[in-house]
Structure 1
Amino acid sequence: MPASKHAPGRHFLQIPGPTNVPDRVLRAIDNPTMDHRGPEFGELGKDILANLRRIFQTQGPVVIYPASGTGAWEAALTNTLSPGDTVLMSRTGWFATLWKEMADRLGLDATFLDTDWRRGADPDAIGDALAKDRDHRIKAVCVVHNETSTGCTSRIDEVRAAIDKAKHPALLMVDTISSLASIDYKHDAWGVDVTVAGSQKGLMLPPGLSFNAISPKALKATETAKLPRSYWDWRPMLAANETGYFPFTPATNLLYGLNAAVGMLLEEGLDNVFARHDRHAEATRRAVRVWGLEIQCAEPRHYSSSLTAVRVPEGHSADALRATILKRFNMSLGNGLGPLKDKVFRIGHLGDFGDLQLIGTLGGVEMGLRAAGIPHKTGGTQAAIDYLAGNA
C-alpha cells in the first residue's frame, strides 16, 4: 500500500476528544516502565490519587481504571444497583443514549426523559418524575454533564436541587467525560454520588484511563448492590489504593502522563483553566454568529465551554464540509452523531489549547466554508480575534 502523501504543517486535531496531548505529558509517558509493586510506584500512586481529588473537587475517593469512559459508566452502575432497579436518565444527546443502552443491557429498568438535543437536562422534569415516585422505585438519576454530541451542558447544581426538593433518596450519577478539567465541576458541593470521567479530553491524555469519584452514600450502596461485578468492583480498588497500588497491573505509563497532566492543571489553577475554556468558547460562538450559522445549543445557559456544535444550512452536508477541511487544510472536526449525522460539525476547543490555536482553527473553518460552497458571511475569525484581543 503506498504511503500517504505528506501534508506540510501541523495537523489540527479539533475534534471534541481525544484532544491534543502536550509535549510534557508525552515525555512523561515515554519514561521507562517501573515496577508497579515497588516503593517508588506506591508513592506515585498516592500522589496521583490525592491530586485527582482536587480536580474532581472532592474529599472522597477517586478510583482509576485502565479503560475508556464506557468502563467507568459500567462501574458506576454495577457497584451501586441491582437487577431490575429503575434509573432515571435524561436523553440530552448521543452519549446519554449510549449510557441508557448500557443500563438496559445490564438488566436495569431505564426510564428516559427526552429532550430536543438542543439544551441540557431539565431539572424540573427530573424533579416532577421523582415527586411522583412515592415508593422510591427510582434508585439513581443519571445525567451527562456536557453532552459531546450537541455542545449542551446540564446544570448539575440545579438537578441536585430538584432531587432535594422532591426529598428523594435516589443516587445522582454524572458523566463528566467531556467536561472534567474544562468546565467547573464540583463533586462534593453539588452532592454528586458517582462521577464518571475519562482521560482523553480535558485531562490532556491519550484514551485509556477512566475514573469514578465516589460519595459515602454510593459506597454504602455497594453493600446491597446485586449487579455482577468483578473487574469493576470498587472494594479491592479502594483497599489497594490506600497504599498507592492497584489490585491488577495498572496502565503504568499512562499514570506517568496523568501525573504530569494533573500537575499542569494545578499549576495553571483550576479557576484559570475554566476561564480559559469559557473565553475560547465565547470567541468561537461569536465567529459562528458572524458567519450566519446556527449553534446547535439553543439555550445560552447551557452553552458548552468544551466544544461548539454548528448546524449547516438545510440542503448542505456537514460531512462534506469536514472532508473538504481535512483535505485542503489538514484539520479534523467532529462529526454529527445519531439524529445529527451530517447536520452539524463540532469544533473542539478544550484541553491544551491557546489563543493562536483557536484562531488557526476558526480560520480553517472559515476557509473551509468558502471552499465547500456553504452559504455564510465572512469575518467570523476576525470577530474572534477582536474578542480575544480585547479580553486577555
Structure 2
Amino acid sequence: MSSPNPVFIPGPTNIPERLRRAVDVPTHDHRASDFPAFLAALLEGLKAVFQTTRGEIVVFPSSGTGGWEAAVTNTLSPGDRVLAARHGMFSHRWIDLCRRHRLDVQVIEAPWGESVPLDAYAEALAADREHRIKAVLVTHNETATGVRSDVAAVRRTLDDAGHPALLFVDGVSSIGAMDFRMDDWGVDLAVTGSQKGLMLPTGLAIVGVSTKARAAMETAGCPRCYFDMRDMLGTTAGGGYPYTPPVPLLYGLREAVAMLEEEGLDAVFARHRRIAEGVRRAVAAWGLPLCARRPEIGSDSVTAIMVPEGHDADALVRHAYDRYGVSFGGGLGDVAGTLFRIGHLGQMTDVMALSGLATAEMAMADLGYPVTLGSGVAAAQAWYRETAAEAATAPAPAATAAA
C-alpha cells in the first residue's frame, strides 16, 4: 500500500492531488489541431516561471540530467574548455558529463558545504585572456549539501572580466521554489526538471535558452539527435514536437504553471524561505550543524544536517522509513553517511514541515542521538507562529490550491 505520509526528500517532491488529476487523462493526439495553441500557452507560462521574456523554452521528455546534456551538446564542441566548481554531488556529476563529451573541464575544487567560489572564478576568467573558456557552469542550488550559490554574482564576474563565455545554470532544485531570474542574471542556459518545484512526476527536462545560446548552436560540434534543440525549437514554433511527447505530463505541467501563477512567484519564494527558516531553527535547537558553512548560503528548498560523530546518517534515514514510513534524503558522494537531508520544496506547508521534524526527532531519539524530543519542533513552531500572520495575507500555497 502506498504510504499516505508526505516525503521529505528534495525530489521527486509531493504531488498535489490537483496535478495527479491533471495527468490522469485519456490519450490525446499531439498532432491534433488544438495542440499548437496548448503548447504555445504552456511555453509562454514557463517563460514566466524562468522570469524571461527574451529567452525560449524547450521541454524534453527526460529527467534534469537530460537537460544538462542538451545544454552542453547543443552549444559546445569537443575540446572546448568549460569552467566549473566541484562543491557537491550534482556539480560533480555535471563535470563528469562534460568530460564524457570530451570537453576540457577546468575544475575548481571547493569544500562541500560552500557555494561557488567567486574569487576563484574571477581569477580564472581574468587569466583567460584568449577566451578559451566557452562556458561557465553554476549549480544554483547544490541539492547534496543544501547550499545556494549567487548566480547574479557569477554574471557580474563574467561582465567585470569582459568575458564572452556562456553562463550555464543548474536550477533543477531551485526553479519554481527559489528566486531565479534568467534575464536579469544574464543566464544563457537554465535547466530544471518536472519533479522538483513543479511538483510533477519525473519525466520532463525544461531548458531556458538565451539568444546567445541559440546562436552558439549553429557552430557547436558535439553530436546530438534526440536532444537537438534546433529540431525542438523549429518544431515547437509551429506547435508540434519532432517526436512523440508525453502529453499527460505536459497537461500536468500546464496545471503546475497555473498553480504557481495563482499563488504568485513572490509568494512561492516567501513560503519556501519561511518553511526553510523553521527547519533551520529546529536543527539549531537539536544542537546539530548544517552542512552549509555560512547562514547566507543556506538553501530554501533542502536542508542538509550533519549527524554527530559515531552515528550513521544512512542508518537514520533507513530507520525513519522502516519504523515511521517517512522518507528523508541521505548523504551523497563525499558526505555519504555524515548527513541527512530534509527536503521542503514544492507542495509544502509549515504543518507538513512540522510532521517531518517530529518524525526526524523520533528517529534520532530511537537511535540514541543527543536530541531532546520536542526541542526542534518547538523551535519551528515558535517561528511559524511568529510569521503566521504575514503568511496568512499571502495567496493560498500550492497545497491549498490543490484541494
**Is TM-score (shorter-chain normalized) higher than 0.5?**
yes
1:173 correspondence with 2:168: yes
Aligned residue pair count: 386
Question: Is the CA contact 2:292–2:298 (under 8 Å) kept in the aligned structure 1?
Answer: yes
Residue 233 (structure 1) aligns with: 228
Q: Which has the higher mean CA deviation after the structures are superposed, 116-125 or 139-148?
A: 116-125
> What SS does the aligned partner of 2:327 have?
strand
Q: Distance in 2 between matches of 1:71 and 1:311?
A: 31
- Residue deviations 1:70-98, cap 9 Å, x none? 11101101111111000001112001101
Q: Which has the higher mean CA deviation after the structures are superposed, 325-334 or 287-296?
A: 325-334
TM-score, reference length from structure 2:
0.94
Quick one: which amino acid aligns to residue 156 of structure 1?
A: V
Residue 55 (structure 1) aligns with: 49
> What SS does the aligned partner of 1:13 have?
coil
Question: Is the CA contact 1:292–1:377 (under 8 Å) kept in the aligned structure 2?
Answer: no
Alignment of 1:114-263 (within 5 A): 114-263=109-258
Q: Alpha-carbon deviation of 1:377?
A: 3.6
Residue 287 (structure 1) aligns with: 282
- Residue deviations 1:300-344, cap 9 Å, x none? 121100000000001111011112211221100001001111100
Q: Alpha-carbon deviation of 1:10?
A: 2.0
Among candidates 41, 45, 52, match of residue 39 of structure 2? 45
Residue 337 (structure 1) aligns with: 332
Q: Alpha-carbon deviation of 1:243?
A: 2.9
Alignment of 1:264-303 (within 5 A): 264-303=259-298
Q: Distance in 2 between matches of 1:110 and 1:36?
A: 40
Quick one: which amino acid aligns to residue 242 of structure 1?
A: A
Quick one: which amino acid aligns to residue 202 of structure 2?
A: P
Question: Is the CA contact 1:12–1:330 (under 8 Å) kept in the aligned structure 2?
Answer: no
Quick one: which amino acid aligns to residue 334 of structure 2?
A: P
Question: Is the CA contact 1:96–1:144 (under 8 Å) kept in the aligned structure 2?
Answer: yes
Among candidates 368, 384, 389, match of residue 385 of structure 2? 389
Q: Which has the higher mean CA deviation after the structures are superposed, 32-41 or 144-153?
A: 32-41
Quick one: which amino acid aligns to residue 49 of structure 2?
A: I
Q: Alpha-carbon deviation of 1:368?
A: 1.1
Quick one: which amino acid aligns to residue 52 of structure 2?
A: T
Question: Is the CA contact 2:290–2:305 (under 8 Å) kept in the aligned structure 1?
Answer: yes
Alignment of 1:14-29 (within 5 A): 14-29=8-23
Question: Is the CA contact 1:90–1:112 (under 8 Å) kept in the aligned structure 2?
Answer: yes
1:358 correspondence with 2:353: yes
Query: Unaligned regions of 5+ residues in structure 2, if any?
Result: 389-403
Question: Is the CA contact 2:365–2:372 (under 8 Å) kept in the aligned structure 1?
Answer: no
Residue 64 (structure 1) aligns with: 59
Quick one: which amino acid aligns to residue 310 of structure 2?
A: G
Q: Distance in 2 between matches of 1:225 and 1:109?
A: 15
> What SS does the aligned partner of 1:79 have?
helix
- Residue deviations 1:184-222, cap 9 Å, x none? 000010000000111100000000000110111111111
CA RMSD in angstroms, aligned pairs only: 1.0
Q: Distance in 1 between matches of 2:127 and 2:322?
A: 54
Q: Alpha-carbon deviation of 1:366?
A: 0.9
Question: Is the CA contact 2:83–2:105 (under 8 Å) kept in the aligned structure 1?
Answer: yes
> What SS does the aligned partner of 2:7 have?
strand
Q: Alpha-carbon deviation of 1:12?
A: 2.7
> What SS does the aligned partner of 1:281 have?
helix
Residue 32 (structure 1) aligns with: 26
